[in-house]
Structure 1
Protein backbone atom coordinates (compact mmCIF):
# COMPACT_ATOMS: atom_id res chain seq x y z
CA UNK A 1 0.00 0.00 0.00
CA UNK A 2 3.05 2.25 0.28
CA UNK A 3 2.90 5.12 -2.16
CA UNK A 4 -0.60 4.36 -3.40
CA UNK A 5 -3.13 7.17 -3.61
CA UNK A 6 -6.77 7.37 -2.58
CA UNK A 7 -9.23 8.74 -5.12
CA UNK A 8 -9.18 12.28 -3.72
CA UNK A 9 -5.39 12.39 -3.72
CA UNK A 10 -5.29 11.11 -7.30
CA UNK A 11 -7.90 13.62 -8.43
CA UNK A 12 -5.99 16.51 -6.82
CA UNK A 13 -2.67 15.39 -8.28
CA UNK A 14 -4.18 14.95 -11.76
CA UNK A 15 -6.14 18.22 -11.60
CA UNK A 16 -9.51 16.54 -12.15
CA UNK A 17 -12.56 15.85 -10.01
CA UNK A 18 -13.32 12.68 -8.09
CA UNK A 19 -16.18 12.17 -10.55
CA UNK A 20 -13.70 12.13 -13.43
CA UNK A 21 -11.68 9.44 -11.63
CA UNK A 22 -14.89 7.44 -11.10
CA UNK A 23 -15.87 7.94 -14.75
CA UNK A 24 -12.47 6.84 -16.10
CA UNK A 25 -12.45 3.87 -13.71
CA UNK A 26 -15.95 2.78 -14.72
CA UNK A 27 -15.00 3.10 -18.41
CA UNK A 28 -11.94 0.91 -17.83
CA UNK A 29 -9.49 3.67 -18.77
CA UNK A 30 -7.77 3.51 -15.39
CA UNK A 31 -7.85 0.88 -12.67
CA UNK A 32 -7.09 0.84 -8.98
CA UNK A 33 -3.90 -0.99 -8.06
CA UNK A 34 -5.62 -2.48 -5.01
CA UNK A 35 -8.13 -1.79 -2.26
CA UNK A 36 -7.39 -0.70 1.28
CA UNK A 37 -8.57 -2.85 4.21
CA UNK A 38 -11.44 -0.34 4.51
CA UNK A 39 -12.43 -0.90 0.87
CA UNK A 40 -11.03 2.34 -0.56
CA UNK A 41 -9.69 2.21 -4.09
CA UNK A 42 -5.95 2.86 -4.17
CA UNK A 43 -4.21 4.02 -7.33
CA UNK A 44 -0.60 3.86 -8.43
CA UNK A 45 0.95 7.37 -8.66
CA UNK A 46 1.75 6.67 -12.34
CA UNK A 47 -2.01 6.94 -12.95
CA UNK A 48 -1.61 10.74 -12.76
CA UNK A 49 0.44 10.62 -15.98
CA UNK A 50 -2.02 8.19 -17.54
CA UNK A 51 -4.90 10.58 -16.81
CA UNK A 52 -2.92 13.46 -18.33
CA UNK A 53 -2.32 11.41 -21.49
CA UNK A 54 -6.00 10.38 -21.69
CA UNK A 55 -7.06 14.01 -21.35
CA UNK A 56 -4.56 15.07 -24.03
CA UNK A 57 -5.84 12.42 -26.45
CA UNK A 58 -9.43 13.36 -25.66
CA UNK A 59 -8.66 17.07 -26.22
CA UNK A 60 -7.11 16.25 -29.59
CA UNK A 61 -10.41 14.75 -30.70
CA UNK A 62 -9.97 11.06 -29.94
CA UNK A 63 -13.12 9.41 -28.58
CA UNK A 64 -12.97 7.80 -25.14
CA UNK A 65 -14.08 4.49 -26.66
CA UNK A 66 -11.08 4.61 -29.02
CA UNK A 67 -8.73 5.55 -26.19
CA UNK A 68 -10.01 2.64 -24.13
CA UNK A 69 -9.68 0.24 -27.05
CA UNK A 70 -6.11 1.39 -27.66
CA UNK A 71 -5.24 1.07 -23.97
CA UNK A 72 -6.54 -2.48 -23.86
CA UNK A 73 -4.87 -3.52 -27.11
CA UNK A 74 -1.62 -1.83 -26.06
CA UNK A 75 -1.58 -3.84 -22.85
CA UNK A 76 -1.45 -7.06 -24.88
CA UNK A 77 0.41 -5.85 -27.97
CA UNK A 78 4.02 -6.28 -28.94
CA UNK A 79 5.11 -2.71 -28.17
CA UNK A 80 8.23 -2.60 -30.42
CA UNK A 81 6.20 -3.87 -33.38
CA UNK A 82 3.43 -1.35 -32.66
CA UNK A 83 5.95 1.50 -32.47
CA UNK A 84 7.56 0.40 -35.74
CA UNK A 85 4.14 0.27 -37.43
CA UNK A 86 3.25 3.76 -36.15
CA UNK A 87 6.60 5.07 -37.35
CA UNK A 88 6.00 3.62 -40.83
CA UNK A 89 2.49 5.08 -40.93
CA UNK A 90 3.77 8.50 -39.90
CA UNK A 91 6.49 8.38 -42.58
CA UNK A 92 3.85 7.50 -45.16
CA UNK A 93 1.84 10.54 -44.09
CA UNK A 94 4.92 12.76 -44.38
CA UNK A 95 5.62 11.52 -47.90
CA UNK A 96 1.99 12.11 -48.89
CA UNK A 97 2.09 15.62 -47.43
CA UNK A 98 5.25 16.45 -49.36
CA UNK A 99 3.90 15.09 -52.64
CA UNK A 100 0.43 16.65 -52.38
CA UNK A 101 -0.51 19.37 -54.83
CA UNK A 102 -0.26 22.97 -53.66
CA UNK A 103 -3.95 23.15 -52.77
CA UNK A 104 -3.95 19.94 -50.68
CA UNK A 105 -0.52 20.36 -49.12
CA UNK A 106 -1.58 22.54 -46.14
CA UNK A 107 -4.30 20.05 -45.19
CA UNK A 108 -1.93 17.09 -45.60
CA UNK A 109 0.71 18.82 -43.49
CA UNK A 110 -1.87 19.59 -40.79
CA UNK A 111 -2.98 15.94 -40.75
CA UNK A 112 0.62 14.80 -40.48
CA UNK A 113 1.29 17.09 -37.51
CA UNK A 114 -1.93 15.97 -35.81
CA UNK A 115 -1.06 12.30 -36.36
CA UNK A 116 2.40 12.92 -34.94
CA UNK A 117 0.88 14.59 -31.86
CA UNK A 118 -1.54 11.70 -31.36
CA UNK A 119 1.27 9.16 -31.68
CA UNK A 120 3.38 11.12 -29.20
CA UNK A 121 0.47 11.30 -26.75
CA UNK A 122 -0.20 7.58 -27.21
CA UNK A 123 3.45 6.77 -26.49
CA UNK A 124 3.33 8.93 -23.36
CA UNK A 125 0.20 7.06 -22.35
CA UNK A 126 1.86 3.69 -22.85
CA UNK A 127 4.87 4.73 -20.82
CA UNK A 128 2.64 6.02 -18.03
CA UNK A 129 0.52 2.87 -17.86
CA UNK A 130 0.99 0.94 -14.62
CA UNK A 131 2.23 -2.62 -14.99
CA UNK A 132 -0.61 -5.12 -15.15
Structure 2
Protein backbone atom coordinates (compact mmCIF):
# COMPACT_ATOMS: atom_id res chain seq x y z
CA UNK A 1 0.00 0.00 0.00
CA UNK A 2 3.02 2.27 0.40
CA UNK A 3 3.30 4.94 -2.27
CA UNK A 4 -0.28 4.53 -3.46
CA UNK A 5 -2.56 7.56 -3.48
CA UNK A 6 -6.11 8.02 -2.28
CA UNK A 7 -8.54 9.71 -4.65
CA UNK A 8 -8.12 13.18 -3.12
CA UNK A 9 -4.35 12.96 -3.29
CA UNK A 10 -4.50 11.83 -6.91
CA UNK A 11 -6.93 14.60 -7.83
CA UNK A 12 -4.71 17.24 -6.23
CA UNK A 13 -1.54 15.89 -7.86
CA UNK A 14 -3.24 15.70 -11.27
CA UNK A 15 -4.89 19.11 -10.96
CA UNK A 16 -8.42 17.76 -11.38
CA UNK A 17 -11.41 17.26 -9.11
CA UNK A 18 -12.34 14.11 -7.22
CA UNK A 19 -15.36 13.99 -9.50
CA UNK A 20 -13.09 13.84 -12.57
CA UNK A 21 -11.22 10.91 -11.01
CA UNK A 22 -14.55 9.16 -10.36
CA UNK A 23 -15.67 9.86 -13.94
CA UNK A 24 -12.43 8.61 -15.50
CA UNK A 25 -12.61 5.49 -13.32
CA UNK A 26 -16.23 4.87 -14.35
CA UNK A 27 -15.26 5.19 -18.03
CA UNK A 28 -12.39 2.75 -17.50
CA UNK A 29 -9.74 5.32 -18.42
CA UNK A 30 -7.97 4.80 -15.11
CA UNK A 31 -8.22 2.07 -12.51
CA UNK A 32 -7.29 1.82 -8.87
CA UNK A 33 -4.26 -0.34 -8.14
CA UNK A 34 -5.97 -1.75 -5.06
CA UNK A 35 -8.28 -0.91 -2.19
CA UNK A 36 -7.27 -0.01 1.35
CA UNK A 37 -8.49 -2.12 4.27
CA UNK A 38 -11.10 0.62 4.77
CA UNK A 39 -12.33 0.26 1.18
CA UNK A 40 -10.72 3.40 -0.25
CA UNK A 41 -9.54 3.25 -3.83
CA UNK A 42 -5.78 3.56 -4.06
CA UNK A 43 -4.05 4.67 -7.26
CA UNK A 44 -0.52 4.24 -8.51
CA UNK A 45 1.30 7.62 -8.62
CA UNK A 46 1.95 7.04 -12.37
CA UNK A 47 -1.79 7.62 -12.84
CA UNK A 48 -1.07 11.35 -12.54
CA UNK A 49 0.78 11.24 -15.90
CA UNK A 50 -1.92 9.04 -17.42
CA UNK A 51 -4.53 11.63 -16.45
CA UNK A 52 -2.40 14.39 -17.99
CA UNK A 53 -2.17 12.39 -21.22
CA UNK A 54 -5.92 11.73 -21.26
CA UNK A 55 -6.55 15.45 -20.80
CA UNK A 56 -4.20 16.26 -23.71
CA UNK A 57 -6.02 13.75 -25.94
CA UNK A 58 -9.35 15.25 -24.93
CA UNK A 59 -8.01 18.78 -25.57
CA UNK A 60 -6.96 17.67 -29.06
CA UNK A 61 -10.61 16.91 -29.78
CA UNK A 62 -10.84 13.21 -28.95
CA UNK A 63 -13.93 12.25 -26.95
CA UNK A 64 -13.40 10.49 -23.63
CA UNK A 65 -15.51 7.57 -24.82
CA UNK A 66 -13.21 7.23 -27.84
CA UNK A 67 -10.12 7.38 -25.65
CA UNK A 68 -11.56 4.63 -23.48
CA UNK A 69 -12.53 2.53 -26.50
CA UNK A 70 -9.03 2.83 -27.93
CA UNK A 71 -7.44 1.94 -24.60
CA UNK A 72 -9.66 -1.15 -24.34
CA UNK A 73 -9.05 -2.08 -28.00
CA UNK A 74 -5.32 -1.79 -27.49
CA UNK A 75 -5.43 -3.97 -24.36
CA UNK A 76 -3.71 -7.19 -25.31
CA UNK A 77 -2.77 -5.95 -28.78
CA UNK A 78 0.83 -6.67 -29.57
CA UNK A 79 2.74 -3.44 -30.09
CA UNK A 80 3.91 -4.55 -33.54
CA UNK A 81 0.26 -5.05 -34.57
CA UNK A 82 -0.64 -1.57 -33.33
CA UNK A 83 2.30 -0.03 -35.20
CA UNK A 84 1.35 -1.91 -38.39
CA UNK A 85 -2.23 -0.65 -38.09
CA UNK A 86 -0.98 2.89 -37.54
CA UNK A 87 1.30 2.65 -40.58
CA UNK A 88 -1.62 1.50 -42.76
CA UNK A 89 -3.75 4.39 -41.53
CA UNK A 90 -0.94 6.88 -42.14
CA UNK A 91 -0.40 5.55 -45.68
CA UNK A 92 -4.12 5.95 -46.38
CA UNK A 93 -3.99 9.53 -45.08
CA UNK A 94 -0.89 10.25 -47.16
CA UNK A 95 -2.57 8.86 -50.30
CA UNK A 96 -5.65 10.95 -49.62
CA UNK A 97 -3.55 14.09 -49.20
CA UNK A 98 -1.67 13.42 -52.44
CA UNK A 99 -4.81 12.87 -54.50
CA UNK A 100 -6.97 15.58 -52.94
CA UNK A 101 -7.99 18.40 -55.24
CA UNK A 102 -7.20 22.03 -54.42
CA UNK A 103 -10.49 22.49 -52.58
CA UNK A 104 -9.82 19.49 -50.33
CA UNK A 105 -6.17 20.38 -49.58
CA UNK A 106 -6.99 22.48 -46.48
CA UNK A 107 -9.07 19.63 -45.05
CA UNK A 108 -6.31 17.11 -45.80
CA UNK A 109 -3.78 19.37 -44.09
CA UNK A 110 -6.06 19.73 -41.05
CA UNK A 111 -6.51 15.95 -40.84
CA UNK A 112 -2.76 15.43 -41.12
CA UNK A 113 -2.07 17.88 -38.30
CA UNK A 114 -4.77 16.25 -36.15
CA UNK A 115 -3.30 12.80 -36.82
CA UNK A 116 0.13 14.08 -35.82
CA UNK A 117 -1.25 15.56 -32.58
CA UNK A 118 -3.06 12.33 -31.74
CA UNK A 119 0.03 10.22 -32.43
CA UNK A 120 2.10 12.50 -30.20
CA UNK A 121 -0.51 12.28 -27.44
CA UNK A 122 -0.67 8.49 -27.83
CA UNK A 123 3.09 8.23 -27.42
CA UNK A 124 2.89 10.35 -24.28
CA UNK A 125 0.07 8.14 -23.01
CA UNK A 126 2.13 4.99 -23.57
CA UNK A 127 5.09 6.46 -21.76
CA UNK A 128 2.91 7.57 -18.84
CA UNK A 129 1.07 4.26 -18.42
CA UNK A 130 2.07 2.45 -15.25
CA UNK A 131 3.78 -0.91 -15.64
CA UNK A 132 1.35 -3.71 -14.97
What are the within-5 Å matches in structure 2 for residues 1-132 of structure 1?
Answer: 1-132=1-132
Cα offset, 1:128, TM superposition: 2.0
- My pick for the range that moved more, 56-65 or 111-120, is 56-65
**Deviating 4+ runs (over 4 angstroms):** none
> What is the aligned residue count?
132
Cα offset, 1:48, TM superposition: 0.9
Contact 1:90 1:116 in 2 (8 A): no
Give TM-score, length-normalised by structure 2: 0.88
Give TM-score, length-normalised by structure 1: 0.88
Gaps of 5+ in 1: none
Gaps of 5+ in 2: none
In 1, distance between residues paired with 2:129 and 2:74? 10
Give SS of 2:75's match.
helix
Give SS of 2:103's match.
coil
Provide the alpha-carbon RMSD of the alignment. 1.6
Contact 1:4 1:42 in 2 (8 A): yes
Give SS of 1:3's match.
coil
In 2, distance between residues paired with 1:84 and 1:52? 26
Deviations 1:86-114 (A, max 9, x none): 13312331342233222211210110110
Q: 1:75 to 1:129 in 2, by over 3 A?
A: farther
Cα offset, 1:17, TM superposition: 0.4
In 2, distance between residues paired with 1:13 and 1:87? 35
